[in-house]
Chains A and B, each alone.
Chain A
Amino acid sequence: MASQKTIKIRVKRYIPEKAEEPFYSEYDVPYSEDMVVLDALNYIKDNLDGSLSFRWSCRMGVCGSCSANVDGKPKLTCSSFLKESKGDSILVEPLSHFRTIKDLVVEIDVFVKKLKSIKPWIIRNEEKPIADGEYLQTPEQRDLIKQTSMCINCMLCYEACPVFDMDNDFIGPAAAAISYRSVMDSRDDGAKERLDILTSKHGVWDCTYIGECSVVCPKAVDPALAIQKLKAMGGISIIKSLLPKKK
C-alpha cells in the first residue's frame, strides 16, 4: 500500500505562559489536492496538537475570521490551497500588524474601534414611518456601493499596509472603504459627519497610496481607490466649509 503523502506545516506560535518570545512548531499533515491551510490547521488541532489556537468560522471566505500570513502573504487560510505552495512546507504566521494574544489569534480591538468610529450604519436626518416601506435604490445607485459593500472585515488590508504598521492610529483601508460605501449610499445623510471624521488627524490623509491593501483583498474591494476618492471629497468638503455660507 502506498504511504499517504504529507506536507510540513510550520506555524509561528506564541504562548505567553510558556515563553516570552514567539517560536515555531512543525507538523506533518496528510496532503490532498483539495485541502486548504485551514483544513491543515484543523487537522493539527484535532490530531496532533490541541494547544494550537486560531480563529475560524465559515470556511468559505465570508466571515473574515481566519486571516493569517501564509508563506509571508496576508491571506484567508480557508481560501489558500495547500497545492498553491511552491515548496514542500507551508509557513503560517499571525497577522503581524496586530498584537498576538496566542498563536494565530490576534487582538482586533484596534480595528473594531476604528470601525465603530466611522459609524458603519445608515444615518438619516429624518426616519420615515415603517408603513411607508423600504428605502429603495436604483441599480445605478446600488452599483456605486457594490464593490466596497463586499468588505468582510478580515483585516488583511491592515496587514498589507505599512502606514498602519508604523502608526496604529491611522484609520486604515477597511474602515475607510466602509466609510466610502456609507458616504456614497443614496439612502444615507451622514456624508458630512463621516468626512469630518475621515479628514481629521489620523484620517485618510495618512495614506500614501502604496496600494497593497487592494492587492491582498480576498473580496476584490479596492480600499486604496476608496481612500483617494475620500481625499478628493474631503478636500472639497473642507473648502466648502471655509466659504461664506449663503444666507
Chain B
Amino acid sequence: MDKEVRSYEYKPSKTWWLGNRRYALYMVRELSGFAVAVYGFIFLAQLFTLSQGPLAYDALLGVLLSPAGILLSTILLVFAIFHSLTWFDLTAKVQPPSMKGKPVPRKIVVTGTIIIWLFISYFVAVFIFRVG
C-alpha cells in the first residue's frame, strides 16, 4: 500500500511577473490585447452610430475628439502598435520562412514584415485622408 508522503506546495505570489523582464513584457502584451479589443469596440460603436444617422455619429465623434477622447485614443494607439510589434516578433519565431532549405534569420523576417506593414499602412492612410 502506498504511504502518503507529506509535501509542501508553494503558492505563486501576485507579483510573480515583476521579477523577470520577459514575464513583465508578457503581461504588457496581454494587457495590450485588451486595449486592441477596446479599440475594436469603439470602431463597432462608430459603425452603429453611423447606421443611426449623422446626428448620432457626430455626437460620438464629439466625444472621441474631446481631450479625454484623444488621450484615450493615443493610449490605445501605443498599445495597439506594441501589440502588433510583438505579433511580428512571434510570427518570425513560429513560422520562420526558409530559403533554399535554410531558415531566414529572425531579424530579417521581423524587419521585413514591419516594413511591409508600414508600407501598407501608408497607403491605407493616404486612401483614408484623400477620401475623407
**Residues of chain A lying within 8 A (CB to CB) of residue B8:** 14, 16, 21-22, 99-100
In the complex, besides A162-B23, A211-B26, A212-B23, 20 extra interface pairs with C-beta distance below 8 angstroms are: A16-B6, A16-B7, A99-B7, A99-B8, A99-B9, A101-B5, A101-B7, A162-B17, A208-B30, A210-B22, A210-B23, A211-B22, A211-B93, A212-B22, A224-B93, A225-B93, A225-B94, A229-B94, A232-B94, A232-B95
Residues of chain A in range 71-107 having any CB-CB distance to chain B below 8 Å: 72, 96-97, 99-101, 107
Binding site for B on A (CB under 8 A): 14, 16, 21-22, 72, 96-97, 99-101, 107, 162, 165-166, 208-212, 215, 224-225, 228-229, 232
In chain B, positions 1-58 with a C-beta closer than 8 Å to chain A are 5-10, 12, 16-17, 19-20, 22-23, 26, 30
Chain A residue with Cβ nearest B30: A208
CB <8 Å contact, A165 and B16:
yes
Question: Does B90 touch A at the CB level, under 8 Å?
Answer: yes
A166: chain B residues within 8 A (beta carbon): 12
Q: Which residue of A lies closest to B5 (CB)?
A: A101
Residue of B nearest to A72 (CB): B19
Give the distance in Å from the alpha carbon of A21 to the alpha carbon of B19 in the complex.
23
What band does the interface of chain B fall in when counting residues whose beta carbon is under 8 Å from A?
10 to 19
Q: Which residue of the partner chain B has the closest CB to A211?
A: B22
Q: How far is the CB of B82 from chain A (nearest CB, A)?
A: 15
B interface residues, Cβ below 8 angstroms from A: 5-10, 12, 16-17, 19-20, 22-23, 26, 30, 90, 93-95
> How many angstroms from the CA of A22 to the CA of B94 in the assembled complex?
40
Pick the residue among A100, A101, A212, A228 that contacts B94 (CB under 8 A). A228
Closest chain B CB from A182 CB (angstroms): 20
B61 to chain A, nearest CB (A): 36
B5 and A107 contacting across the interface, CB-CB below 8 Å: yes
Taking CB as reference atom, which chain B residue is nearest A210?
B26
Measured between beta carbons, the chain A residues less than 8 angstroms from B16 are 162, 165
In the complex, residue of chain B having the shortest beta-carbon distance to the beta carbon of A73:
B20
A100 vs B7: C-alpha distance in the bound complex, in angstroms?
5
Bound-complex Cα distance A162 to B27 (A): 11
Q: Are B94 and A215 in contact (CB under 8 A)?
A: no
A-B contact pairs, 6 of them (CB 8 A): A99-B8, A100-B10, A107-B7, A212-B23, A225-B94, A228-B94
How far is B5's CA from A72's CA once the two chains are assembled, in angstroms?
Answer: 26
* In contact, A165 and B12 (Cβ under 8 angstroms): yes
Which of A22, A101, A212 interacts with B20 by CB under 8 Å? A212
Chain B residues with CB under 8 Å of A107's CB are 5, 7
Enumerate chain B residues within 8 angstroms of A208, measured Cβ to Cβ: 26, 30
Instruction: For the complex, give the distance between the alpha carbons of A229 and B16 in Å.
Output: 28
Q: In the complex, which residues of chain A have a beta carbon less than 8 angstroms from the beta carbon of B20? A: 212
